C-alpha cells in the first residue's frame, strides 16, 4: 500500500485543459487524458504517484463523459502537483440535481470511518443489480486515499480530489 | 502448457488487454495483461467467460494461479468482469489459488482482494498472494 510517497518531491507541475463542445468527444477521452498525464508525470515523479494521477483523471473525466447534460458544454481539467499534494479538479456543466447526488455521495464517503468496507458493500450491491458506474469516487477514497469535495456555481459542478504527499 | 481459451479487448483499433487461460498437469493458470479502460468490457470478454464456465468444471485441475502482475490498469468499469472471471475459477475448480499481483500498485493491493471476495472465509482459506515488483 502506498499511503505516502516516500521520495522527496521538488518539481512543481500545473496542467490545465479545457474542451468544448463535449458532444465532439470521440473515443476514450478519459483513458487518453489519464495515460497522457501519467506519461508526463513519470518524467518527474515516482510511479505510484503517476498511477494515482492516471486513476483520478480517468475516473473523474469518465464521470463527466457518462453524465453530459448539454453536448455544447465545456469540460475543464486542472492538475497541480507540488511538494504538498496532488490536486485534480474537473469542472463541467451539471444540473442542481446532479450536484446534489454527487454531494451526497461525497459526504457519505467523507463521513465513513471505513471507506474500504463501504466500497466493498457498495460494489457487491451494485454488482448484484448489474448497476453501472457509481464506483469511481469510492475507489478514489478507498483505494487511493484521495480526499474528495464537490462545489457548484453557475450551473458548473467542480469535483476536487486531493492526495496529500505528506501522508496526512 | 495447453491454452484453454483466450480473451482480448480492442480499443481504438489496438489490442489493449489479454486474458489467457492455460492448463498444465493439473495447474490452471489465468494470466491477465494490459489495461482495462473501456466502457463495457463484457462486449469483448463474453466468449471468454462462457468458455471458462463450460471448460473449467470438466478439467482435472487441482490448483490455480491467477496472475495479475502484468495488468497495468483497471478502471472501475472493469471491476465486475474481473469479479466474474475469478468467481468462475473459484466455483469451477477445487484446490488452492495463488494470486500473483504487483507489490506497489494500489488497486492490486487494496481493491483486488475485494474483487476476489476474500471476506468469504472459504475463498480466503484457499487463497495466497505472491507480491511481485513491477519491472
Question: A65-120, pLDDT tens digit by residue?
Answer: 989 999 999 999 999 999 899 999 999 999 999 999 999 999 999 999 999 999 99
Alpha carbon distance B15, B35 (integer Å): 10
Alpha carbon distance B98, B107 (integer Å): 18
Residue of B nearest to A3 (CA): B106
Q: Bridge partners of B99? A: B66, B129
Alpha carbon distance B64, B28 (integer Å): 5
Q: Is B131 on the interface with A (CB under 8 A)?
A: no
Residue with cell 510511479: A47
What's the number of CA atoms in the CB half-sphere (13 Å) around residue B46?
Answer: 4
Rounded to the nearest angstrom, the minimum Cα separation between A154 and chain B is: 30
pLDDT classification of A167: cutoffs 50, 70, 90? low
What DSSP state is assigned to residue A150?
A: E
Enumerate chain A positions whose Cβ falls within 8 A of a Cβ in B.
1-2, 27-28, 30-31, 34, 47-48, 51-52, 54-55, 58-59, 62, 116, 119-120, 123, 127, 130, 132-133, 135-136, 139, 142-144
Model pLDDT, residue B77: 86
Q: Chain B residues with CB inside 8 Å of A34's CB?
A: 37
Residue with cell 489490442: B15
Residue of B nearest to A31 (CA): B37
Neighbours of A6 (CB within 10 A): 10
The mean per-residue pLDDT over the stretch B31-53 comes to: 93
Residue with cell 454488482: A127
Residue of A nearest to B40 (CA): A132
pLDDT classification of A5: cutoffs 50, 70, 90? low
Question: A55 and B107: CB-CB below 8 Å?
Answer: yes
Closest CA to B9 of B39, B29, B30: B39
Question: A2 and B106: CB-CB below 8 Å?
Answer: yes
Model pLDDT, residue B123: 96
- Whether B85 and B67 have beta carbons less than 8 Å apart is answered as no
Q: Is B25 on the interface with A (CB under 8 A)?
A: no
Neighbours of A85 (CB within 10 A): 17
Question: B37 and A30: CB-CB below 8 Å?
Answer: yes
Q: Chain A residues with CB inside 8 Å of B134's CB?
A: 47
Closest CA to B68 of B108, B114, B36: B108
Question: A55 and B77: CB-CB below 8 Å?
Answer: no
Of all helices (H) and strands (E), which one includes residue B90? helix B79-92
Residue with cell 494500489: B106
Determine the 3-state secondary structure of B41 from DSSP.
Answer: coil
Of all helices (H) and strands (E), which one includes residue A14? strand A13-19
Q: Write the secondary structure of A39-105 as one string of H (helix), E (strand) and C (coil).
A: HHHCCCCCHHHHHHHHHHHHHHHHHHHHCCCCCCCCEEEEEEECCCEEEEEEEEECCHHHHHHHHHH
Question: A58 and B75: CB-CB below 8 Å?
Answer: yes
Q: Is residue B12 scored above 90 in pLDDT? A: no
The mean per-residue pLDDT over the stretch A31-55 comes to: 92
Ranking A108-117, A131-140, B70-79 by mean pLDDT, the lowest is A131-140
Q: Chain B residues with CB inside 8 Å of A29's CB?
A: none
Amino acid at each position: 500500500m502506498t499511503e505516502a510517497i516516500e521520495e522527496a518531491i521538488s518539481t512543481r507541475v500545473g496542467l490545465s485543459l479545457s474542451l468544448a463542445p463535449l458532444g465532439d468527444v470521440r473515443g476514450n477521452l478519459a483513458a487518453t487524458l489519464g495515460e497522457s498525464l501519467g506519461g508526463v508525470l513519470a518524467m518527474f515523479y515516482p510511479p505510484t504517484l503517476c498511477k494515482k494521477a492516471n486513476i483520478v483523471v480517468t475516473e473523474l473525466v469518465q464521470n463527466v463523459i457518462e453524465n453530459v447534460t448539454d453536448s455544447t458544454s465545456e469540460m475543464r481539467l486542472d492538475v497541480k502537483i507540488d511538494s504538498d499534494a496532488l490536486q485534480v479538479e474537473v469542472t463541467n456543466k451539471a444540473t442542481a440535481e446532479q450536484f446534489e447526488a454527487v454531494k451526497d455521495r461525497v459526504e457519505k464517503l467523507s463521513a465513513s470511518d471505513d471507506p474500504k468496507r463501504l466500497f466493498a458493500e457498495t460494489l457487491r450491491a451494485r454488482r448484484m443489480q448489474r448497476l453501472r458506474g457509481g464506483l469511481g469516487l469510492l475507489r478514489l477514497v478507498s483505494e487511493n486515499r484521495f480526499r474528495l469535495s464537490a462545489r457548484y456555481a453557475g450551473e458548473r459542478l467542480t469535483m476536487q480530489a486531493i492526495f496529500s504527499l505528506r501522508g496526512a | 502448457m495447453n491454452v484453454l481459451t483466450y480473451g482480448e479487448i480492442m480499443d481504438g483499433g489496438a489490442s489493449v488487454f489479454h486474458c489467457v487461460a492455460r492448463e498444465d498437469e493439473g495447474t490452471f493458470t489465468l494470466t491477465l495483461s494490459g489495461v482495462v479502460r473501456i466502457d463495457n468490457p463484457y462486449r469483448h470478454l463474453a466468449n471468454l467467460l462462457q468458455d471458462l464456465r463450460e471448460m473449467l468444471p470438466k478439467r482435472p485441475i487441482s490448483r490455480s494461479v491467477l496472475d495479475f502482475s502484468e495488468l497495468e490498469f483497471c478502471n472501475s468499469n472493469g471491476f465486475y468482469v474481473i469479479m466474474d472471471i475469478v468467481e468462475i475459477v473459484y466455483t469451477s475448480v477445487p484446490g488452492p489459488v495463488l494470486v500473483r499481483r504487483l507489490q506497489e500498485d494500489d488497486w492490486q493491493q487494496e481493491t483486488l482482494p475485494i474483487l476476489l471476495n476474500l471476506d468469504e472465509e472459504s475463498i480466503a482459506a484457499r487463497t495466497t498472494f505472491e507480491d511481485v515488483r513491477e519491472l
